[in-house]
Amino acid sequence: MTAAQPESGLLAPGWTGSPAARATDDDAYLRALLDAEAALTRAQEAVGAAPEGAGAAVTAAACGDFDVRSLAERARGGGNPVIPLIADLTEAAGVEYGPYVHRGATSQDIMDTATMLVAARTLDPVLADLDRVQRALARLAAEHRDTAMPGRTLTQHAVPTTFGLKAAGWRSLVLDARDRITAVRDSLPAQLGGAAGTAAAFTAYGVEDTTALTTAYARELGLVAPLLPWHTLRTPVADLAACLAFTAGALGKLATDVLTLARTEISEIAEVSAGGGGGSSAMPHKANPVRSTLIAAAARRAPQLAATLYGSLVAEDERPAGAWHAEWEPLRDLLRLVGGAARDAAELTAGLRVDPDRMRSGLGLTHGLIVSERLSAELSGLLGRPRARRLLTELSRRAYAENRPLAELLAQEADLKDVDLDELTDPARYTGSAGALTDRALERR
């Protein structure tokens, strides 16, 4: 196989150099097309529709030299690369076995099957990277189970939470993504329906049981035998769109939180890259959160790519014009983006640095008002709800105006002289069920 001109990835640092990049490049796609063609001949031999030796001969021919660029240029003639590939593979298989190349199939059978192979070969390393991410997050969640930090709602301090619970939440999303990808990966089907989904040509060539042929074909490729040909029943592609877009969003949530918490004025966590990087071309002091940035970029692109794939569900007749063709590039882009994001997330979480002291310091930025919810509940029982509310409203105003801790102002109230204000106003003692929730989340394997 003559290698295609490699894609430099100049504008794609998010996926360049990742396993997904290698699994989706032109050479990988050509390999999948050739694997699909060779498997079809082997399957026909297995059901008695091709002579002994045909499968091995075509498989050997498929390991030969094929010019990717030439195939790409000639693909314009028929609208897909399978048509010129059939001609080249038939010639390579020779006079005796060439007639058994692609016999009974249509171009979409091979293209769809190859697409499923490319997806499978991309998703396997994605799953491995997601496992690395969840294990790193599980360690962080356990280590920081009781590390108090400000909880933020609508960008503002709300009530205290723990970093352990936050990390456990990230992990929960990653596990959700893993489960969705696993389900889709395990259901990726081969495609074999012939010209209009009736498998008529296979019967004309002597296949007595087309279901057995489809089963043998899928088995050769490690894919699932579909109930029906799915030329215009695009559930497999829609399922890929869904799990990939979800995974991009799940990793994007992690990245967005890291970007927020790593801001200079917050600095509760920091992205530390084992390979260095993160610098600026103009500002020597910068240590930019590059992995998080690239993941966030992928998460922003993924929904639009998935939307194109969902749009292709509207595929007319028994074979569509345009809907099928529109899937190829967006699906490859989506596989690459998610593959790169999973790789980056594994690197990000492995090197994430947590600063508990900074988190503790942040809890005091509102002069103790971060526990006002607790104070309102506790003091209402002691002073009555209306009076407690008036008191807290007034003391909150004074805490800001006088730059004094709320606990200090509360201590001046005679009615509160017997109240343990140190305990009551300590943010670290008002994290609710965060610890128990973290423990429960970590039980998920």
DSSP state of 165: H
Model confidence at 358: pLDDT above 80: yes
Q: What percent of the chain has pLDDT over 90?
A: 91
Model confidence at 283: pLDDT above 70: no
Dist CA 76 CA 391 (whole Å): 77
Q: What is the pLDDT of residue 406?
A: 93
Strand partners, 14: none
* 175: its two tokens: 């596990």
DSSP state of 420: -
Q: What is the pLDDT of residues 102-156, one digit of tens each?
A: 999 999 999 999 999 999 999 999 999 999 999 999 999 999 999 999 999 999 9
Dist CA 399 CA 417 (whole Å): 19
Chain centroid to CA 49: 41
The model's pTM: 0.94
Q: What is the pLDDT of residue 371?
A: 95
Q: Which band of pLDDT confidence, cut at 50, 70 and 90, is reported for residue 285?
A: low
Model confidence at 276: pLDDT above 60: no
Model confidence at 279: pLDDT above 80: no
Q: What is the pLDDT of residues 367-400, one digit of tens each?
A: 999 999 999 999 999 999 999 999 999 999 999 8
Q: What percent of the chain has pLDDT over 70?
A: 95
Dist CA 364 CA 368 (whole Å): 6
Q: What is the pLDDT of residues 224-244, one digit of tens each?
A: 999 999 999 999 999 999 999
DSSP state of 148: E
Nearest to 374 by CA among 422, 318, 424, 443: 424
Model confidence at 66: pLDDT above 70: yes
Q: What is the pLDDT of residue 232?
A: 97
Strand partners, 160: 150
Q: What is the pLDDT of residue 265?
A: 95
Chain centroid to CA 193: 31
- Residues with Cβ within 8 Å of residue 68, at least 6 apart in sequence: 1, 2, 3, 4, 26, 27, 30
User: Which residues are the active-site residues?
Assistant: 280, 319
Report CA-CA distances (Å) from 428 to 162, 200, 265, 434: 9, 71, 21, 11
Q: What is the pLDDT of residue 8?
A: 77
Strands (E), 276-383: 352-354
* 410: its two tokens: 């509360």
Q: What is the pLDDT of residues 148-165, one digit of tens each?
A: 999 999 999 999 999 999
Dist CA 111 CA 108 (whole Å): 5
- Beta carbons of 292 and 259 less than 8 angstroms apart: yes
Average pLDDT, the chain: 94
Q: What is the pLDDT of residues 299-355, one digit of tens each?
A: 999 999 999 999 999 999 999 999 999 999 999 999 999 999 999 999 999 999 999
The angle formed by the CA atoms of residues 46, 49 and 52, to the nearest 5 degrees, is 60
Model confidence at 275: pLDDT above 90: no
